[in-house]
Amino acid sequence: MRQKIVAGNWKMNKTFEEANILASEVMGMVADEVKGNVKVIFCTPFPYLHPIKNLLGSNSRISVGAQNCSEHESGAYTGETSAVMLKSMNIPYVIVGHSERRQYFGEDGKLLAKKVDIALKNGLTPIFCCGEPLDVREKNGHEALVKKQVEESLFHLEAAQLEKVVIAYEPVWAIGTGKTATSQQAQEMHAVIRKHLAGKYGANVADNISILYGGSVNAANAKELFACPDVDGGLVGGASLKSREFTEIIKSI
Ligand code: PGA
C-alpha cells in the first residue's frame, strides 16, 4: 500500500522562534492522530532542520525534510548543502526540483536527475516536483511536459530506486496563487503520471509510488483533493505556515 503524505513546504519563511511555535502547535494538535499509513513532513529552511527534528522527538510518523540539496558530494561550493550532510543529520526527505528552483535558480531536468541520484545514494527520499506553467496548460501541452519532466529526471533509475521516490505534481499556475487545480484536473494528471511510470516500470511499481498534489492546497479543498484515487497527499506551501489550517489539512488525509 502506498504511503499517504502531507508535507508542508515552509519555503523561506518564519524566524526561528516562529518556526518553533508553528511546529509545536501542529504537533500538539495532531501528534495522536497521525496514524497508520500517514506521514507528516515539515520541509523547513536548512538552519531549522535539526532543531525542529529534535522538537518533533521520536514520533516516526512526523519528520522533517530539506527543500533542496546540492548535486555535488562535497567541496568548494559556497552556500550549498549536500545530501551527505543531510544524511549525517538523519534528515529523511529532500524536495528536488520545486518549480521555484527551476524558475529562479535555473535548475533543469538533467541537473535534477543528479540531485535525485545523490539523494538516493545517501538514503534520502527525494520529493520530486513536476508541473506545467499556465501558458503550457493553455496550449494543452501539460501532459507532454510533465511526462518529459518525469522522464528526464527519473527514468534513468532502476525500479527499486524509483520506488524510493515521492512525486509531487504541482501545476505552476496553482502555486501561491490561491487558484487550485480542481480535483478532476489533479486526478487526471496524477493518473497520467502513474500510467507513464507503469509504461516504463510496470503497474506494480507505479502503484507503489506516492504522488502528492501541490498548489494552493488549503483546509477547504484538501479533503476533496485527497479523496482522488491517484492523489496520495499534498505538498502544501502557504497553508502549512498556519498551524490550525495545516492541522485541518492533515486531518483531511
Ligand atoms: P502553495 O505552495 O500551497 O502556497 O501554493 C505549494 C508549493 O509550492 O509547494
Any atom of ligand 1 within 6 Å of the Cβ of 30: no
Cell of 16: 526561528
If you measure from the C-alpha of residue 130 to the centroid of ligand 1, how many angstroms do you get, rounded to a whole number? 13
pLDDT in tens, 204-232: 999 999 999 999 999 999 999 999 999 99
Domain carrying residue 111:
5-251
Confidence at residue 204, expressed as pLDDT on a 0 to 100 scale: 97
Question: What's the gap between Cα 171 and its chain centre?
Answer: 13
Q: Is 216 in the pocket of ligand 1 (CB under 6 A)?
A: yes
pLDDT bucket at 165, cuts 50 / 70 / 90 = very high
Mean local confidence (pLDDT), 85-107: 97
Q: Which residues are catalytic?
A: 98, 170
Lowest mean pLDDT among 175-184, 191-200, 233-242: 175-184
Residue 236 CB–ligand 1 contact under 6 Å: yes
Residue range 154-171: mean pLDDT, rounded: 98
Q: Which residue blocks in the chain are alpha helix, DSSP H?
A: 16-30, 49-56, 83-88, 99-104, 109-121, 134-138, 142-154, 159-162, 183-201, 203-207, 222-226, 243-251
Cβ of residue 28 lying under 6 Å from some atom of ligand 1: no
Give the model's pLDDT for residue 51.
97
Which of 179, 216, 218, 221 maximizes ligand 1 atoms within 8 Å of its Cβ, making it the mutation to test the pocket? 216
- Cα 122 to Cα 33, 72, 129, distances in angstroms: 30, 12, 19
In the predicted model, what is the mean pLDDT of residues 30-42? 88
Give the tens place of pLDDT for each residue, 138-160: 999 999 999 999 999 999 999 99
∠ CA 203-229-26, nearest 5°, is 115
Sign for the CA dihedral angle at 183, 184, 189, 194 comes to: positive
Q: Determine which residue's CA is closest to atom 6 belonging to ligand 1.
A: 237
Q: What is the pLDDT of residue 162?
A: 98
Q: Establish whether residue 234 lines the binding site of ligand 1, counting it when its CB lies within 6 angstroms of any ligand atom.
A: no
Give the distance (Å) from ligand 1 centre to CA of residue 66: 15
Is any ligand 1 atom within 6 A of the Cβ of residue 49?
no
> Is ligand 1 within 6 A of the CB of residue 238?
yes
Q: Which atom of ligand 1 is nearest to the CA of 11?
A: 8
Mean pLDDT of the chain: 96
pLDDT bracket for residue 33 (50, 70, 90): confident
Q: CA triplet 136, 240, 150: central angle to 5 degrees?
A: 35
Number of domains in the chain: 1
Q: Which atom, in ligand 1's list, is nearest to the CA of 240?
A: 3
* pLDDT the model gives residue 137: 95
The DSSP symbol for 175 reads T
For residue 237, report the distance from its CA to the centre of ligand 1, in Å.
Answer: 3
Looking from the CA of 73 toward its CB, the CA atoms found within 13 Å total 2
**What does the pLDDT read at residue 99?**
97
Half-sphere exposure of 173 (CA within 13 A, CB side): 13
Tens digit of each residue's pLDDT (9 = 90 or more) over 172-195: 999 988 888 999 999 999 999 999
Binding site membership of 212 for ligand 1 (Cβ less than 6 Å): no
CATH number at residue 138: 3.20.20.70
Q: CA 235, CA 205: separation in Å to the nearest integer?
A: 22
Tell me the mean pLDDT in the region 92-107.
97
Give the C-alpha separation, 253 to 30, whole Å: 12
What does the pLDDT read at residue 73?
A: 96
pLDDT at 1: 76
Is the pLDDT reported for residue 57 higher than 80? Answer: yes
Hey, whose CA ends up nearest to atom 1 of ligand 1? 237
Q: Residues 6 or more apart from 28 whose CB is under 8 A from it? A: none
Ligand 1 pocket test, pick from 170, 180, 242 with the greatest ligand atom count within 8 Å of Cβ, gives 170
pLDDT value at residue 178? 85
**pLDDT above 70 covers what percent of the chain?**
100
